[in-house]
Amino acid sequence: MPRHPFQSLPVPAEQASTLAARGLRFGLVDLDDEAQCAAWLRADLRGFYADDPEDGELADRFTPFRDSRLAAVWDDSAADSATPVATVSSWPTRLTTPGERDVEAWAISSVTVAPTHRRRGIARALLESELTAAREHGAPLAVLTVSEATIYGRFGFSPAAFAASLSIEQRRATWSGSVPDGRVHLVERTVLREQAPEIERRARRAVPGEVDRWPRLWDRMFALTGDTKKDAGALRAVRYDDGTGEPQGFALYRVAEQGSDFTKHRVTVTELIAATPDAYAALWRYLLELDLVSEITVGLRSVDEPLRWQVADARAVRTTDVTDHLWVRILDVPAAFAARGYAAEGSLVLDVDDPDGIAGGRYLLTAHSDGSGECAPLDGEAPDGSAHLALDVRALGSLYLGGVSASTLAAAGRITEQTPRAAVAADALLRSPIAPRLSIWF
């Protein structure tokens, strides 16, 4: 039985009928049917080339999905008709937005289609069904992280937050930043696991693009689940407490030898969360001053990481990869844009084209001096003095978190300025002083 009303939102009849005409059955997974849940999990893991779990692991591995809405496609004529040929999961989550605000978003994950069933319209049915469910739930936008970037633009999604991977040559990265008053402590993973969610809650408030983390994810981060305990011995944990003794940040990392030279270990940082600038500085200083280390690597960091400005040689901090990470699909323009903050006062008219007929229309966005704003449909002509842009729903999604420049999109031909310098005016309103970032996969 579903625990939450959203888990019962049905598969739309249109998509179910389309797949039925192709000999496929599209529906929700029965969360009380252990065999069906196990088959769904195996199909999901298979789709991402993960190892097939042992029978005894299935119930534990399925635990986080019990709070999601699960759908699947079955082929009753297949040799293994009980195992889905396609999967998808979804759930509502809080997404941080500029101005230390947040909005409810519909998170979509586990999108898989078996290689035996490509090009049958299954992925389209899955995504269209999810957008329908999101709208019925009342979410103003949908979000996902993607493994194949060419798929999701067809459904109105577009990159809105980017992620960087860093490689740090430790011996050149002499600390030159501030020296905080607090202390870094080596701590037990199980103790820090209980403290971490509250630290993360405070830390992510200022960072657009972050979403709620679920208990199972926290347990995996700390190597406390059955499938991660084998790595527990290598995982080290430190916590930063400020001058009053309040925990303000933590880091998790592993150390590995590189070849035969014991003085050249590699440190892999798996998590570094800081609720204050002092916590950020103290944790990075600690890592940069570890003995017998030559290289530090870390992924899913900001594209505008402060660290390179806190070391004597900025070239010691190399960006090894920058990629799109969080994709956004706007569903309700007024609700989405009322739920974020603004960097300046002004008004902006948006002519939005949405081929799917969901978010299209003309809207007037008004931002106030206190950082708040409202957005409403606009009938007729734009008010005098308003900047005016024409764009599609994908460009709108990229602009939403303030990490993509309207001027850049205009130069790329993705936005049309209906009034002179409208893109510059849009950037003044929509920019975020903190680069949007999502620090997890989902």
**Which residues does the annotation mark as catalytic?**
152, 442
Separation CA 299–CA 272 (nearest Å): 10
Which distant-in-sequence residues (6+ apart) come within 8 Å of 360 by Cβ?
352, 353, 354, 393
